[in-house]
Amino acid sequence: MHIAFIADPLPSFRIYKDSTFAMMVEAAARGHTLAFIDQRDLARAASGTIEAASWPLTLTGDPDAWYALGASEVVPLSAFDAVVMRKDPPFDLEYVYSTYLLERAEAQGARVYNSGRAIRDHNEKFAIAEFPELIAPTLVTRDGARIREFHREHGDVILKPLDGMGGMGIFRVKADGMNLGSMIEMLGGDGERTIMAQRYIPEIVDGDKRILVIDGVPVPFALARVPQGNEVRGNLAAGGVGRAQPLSARDREIGETVGAKLASRGLLLIGVDSIGDYLTEINVTSPTCFAEIRQQAGFDVAAVFVDALERAATASSPAAIAS
C-alpha cells in the first residue's frame, strides 16, 4: 500500500515515544511505501479535487537523522491507498477546515483514518456525553452560576475547557471553593466560552488510564498516567508517569462500549481515557501511548493498528467495492 501521513513537522517528532513514528516503522517493515503531508498543504484545487503536496518518506534507521524526503509532488488524496490523519491539536479553526477538506476527499474516494467528519463530530471532551452510564456527574455550560451550584452539590470538582489538550487548563476546586470565581472567569471568559465541570474522581492517584481502541477492539493493556507530587493531572505532557497495566474488567467494558459505537463512524483508532471506573475523555485526533505500552508490556500496538489499517483500506478500495 501507499500510505500518506498528515502529521506535525517531522523534525518535531520525539521518535523514542512517538506513536505516529511507530505506525510508520511498522508499515515500512511490511513493505508499504510512505509519504508525508503537512496539514498546511491540504487544498481544494479549482477543479474541485482535494489534493496536497506530498513528500515520499524513507525511514533511515538512524535515530539522529531518522527520515529522508524525496521531491514533493501535488497529488489527489484519493491516489493513496490510505491517508492517516495524525495532526496533533490544538483543534482550532484551521484543524476544522482540514476536516472539511478531508471529508470532501473521502467523497472523492480517498480512504482517510480517522475520517475528517468523525474527528470534527467528536469533541474529545464532550463526546463522553453520549455515554451517560459510564461517566461521573458532568456539567457543560457557560453559566457561572450553574458551575457554582454544581460545586456546592459535589464539593470537589474538576474544571476544564472543551478545547484543551495535554492537561492544559484543567483545575481542581476543593470544598472550600478557593479561587472558583477566578477559574470561571479565566476559563469561561465571563460567559463567552463553554466550560466542563466534573465531580472529582479520587482514583486519579492511581492514574488517568489511556485505553487504546482499534477498530472497536480495546488493546489489552492500558497506560495509567500517574500524577506526580501535588499535581492533579496525570497527562504525560503535564509530568505524569506512564505505567502499562492489563485492562481491568471495567476498563474493557468502557473500551468495548465506546468502540462498538464509534468504529462504524470512521474512527479506526481512539484513545479512551478513564479514571477509576469512569470514562473521562475520548481522544480521536492523534491518540498516543503506543511506544510506552510496547516498551513496558511487550504488546505491539503499532502492528495491531497497521493490521486494522490494511483491512479497512482493502475493504474500501475500488476493486473490493466493485466485487
CA-CA distances (angstroms) from residue 155 to 197, 276, 303, 309? 12, 19, 44, 45
Catalytic residue among 86, 117, 199, 210: 210
Amino acid 53: pLDDT: 98
User: Are 136 and 158 spatial neighbours (Cβ–Cβ below 8 Å)?
Assistant: no
Q: Which one, of 80, 76, 26, lies nearest residue 53 by Cα?
A: 76
Amino acid 318: pLDDT: 62
Handedness of CA 197, 99, 70, 20 (dihedral sign): positive
Q: Which one, of 238, 170, 169, lies nearest residue 198 by Cα?
A: 170
Amino acid 36: pLDDT: 98
Catalytic residue among 114, 123, 235, 283: 283
Angle between helices 301-315 and 290-297 (to 10 degrees): 130
| Low-confidence spans in the chain with pLDDT less than 50 | 322-323
Verify whether residue 307 is a known catalytic residue: no
Dist. CA 195–CA 152, nearest whole Å: 17
Catalytic residue among 208, 233, 251, 292: 233
Catalytic residue among 124, 208, 273, 292: 273
Verify whether residue 125 is a known catalytic residue: yes
Catalytic residue among 103, 281, 292, 294: 281
Q: Which one, of 156, 169, 131, lies nearest residue 259 by Cα?
A: 131
Grid cell listed for 171: 483545575
Dist. CA 290–CA 305, nearest whole Å: 10
- The alpha carbon torsion through 233, 234, 239, 245 (nearest 10 deg) reads 170
Amino acid 322: pLDDT: 46
Verify whether residue 174 is a known catalytic residue: no
Amino acid 90: pLDDT: 87
Angle at 12 between CA 114 and CA 14, to 5 degrees: 85
Catalytic residue among 87, 111, 117, 125: 125
Verify whether residue 193 is a known catalytic residue: no
Verify whether residue 17 is a known catalytic residue: no
User: Are 7 and 52 spatial neighbours (Cβ–Cβ below 8 Å)?
Assistant: no
Catalytic residue among 86, 87, 117, 160: 160
Verify whether residue 88 is a known catalytic residue: no
Q: Which residues contact 242 (CB under 8 A, 6 or more apart)?
A: 223, 224, 225, 226, 236, 289, 292, 296
What domains, with CATH codes, occur in the chain?
A: 2-117 (3.40.50.20), 137-200 (3.30.1490.20), 203-310 (3.30.470.20)
Catalytic residue among 86, 209, 225, 294: 225
Grid cell listed for 9: 513537522
Verify whether residue 87 is a known catalytic residue: no
Grid cell listed for 48: 474541485
- The alpha carbon torsion through 222, 223, 228, 233 (nearest 10 deg) reads -80
Amino acid 317: pLDDT: 67
